[in-house]
Amino acid sequence: MAIIELYHGDITHLEVDAIVNAANASLLGGGGVDGAIHRAAGSELLKECKLLNGCATGEAKITKGYNLPAKYVIHTVGPVWYGGKNREEELLASCYKRSLEVAMTHDVSTIAFPNISTGVYHFPKERAAEIAVHTVKEFTDTHPEIQKVIFALFDRENTDIYSKLVSIDSPDFGS
């Protein structure tokens, strides 16, 4: 079981093997956490992203971290919330799982996630947090190579939700 940490602030500041980007299918940048990551990594990141031919929803692709303290960026594309009947939950779980699988191909042992899809993609935050914690826990239970997973919490609502969820559901989570 990996150590799960909650971090309050900007994911681009984290010194981990990989940070995950909540990107869009073009992988060519955007607002929110995507914009922050591209700004902090510098223009070389966009150059590498242009070579990737985009990314499907629920999938993940990896690049270097360039000027970031993180060695890699794993770009995943969360589902836009259309009411819940378009496989949104399954696709969100897939973002976390595929990001961890891609991480393992690059010997990543410490990784930080933003709250994928809970910004402009409008996935309900409480349900998104449950899916994120459950998927990460399930994966790391069987993949000890992933030693630490950090949830980067940027807004008040997600901070409150994760604080409750992690302490209630997972009393054995480290900090």
Cβ count within 10 A of residue 82: 11
Among 1, 6, 36, 52, binds ligand AR6 (CB under 6 A): 36
Report the run of H or E that residue 47 belongs to, with start and end.
helix 43-50
Identity of the residue, 1 or 80, whose beta carbon is nearer to ligand AR6 in the bound complex = 80
Residue 149 contacts ligand AR6 per CB under 6 A: no
Part of the chain binding ligand AR6 (CB under 6 A), chosen from 41-49, 51-59, 115-123, 134-142: 115-123
Radius of gyration of the chain (CA): 15
From the CB of 24, what's the least distance to ligand AR6, in Å? 3
Part of the chain binding ligand AR6 (CB under 6 A), chosen from 9-17, 59-67, 96-104, 140-148: 9-17
Please give the residues from 69 up to 108 whose contact with ligand AR6 meets the rule CB under 6 A.
Answer: 78
DSSP 8-state symbol, 25: T
Catalog residues that contact ligand AR6 under the rule CB under 6 A.
10-12, 22-24, 30-34, 36, 78, 114-121, 152, 154-155, 158
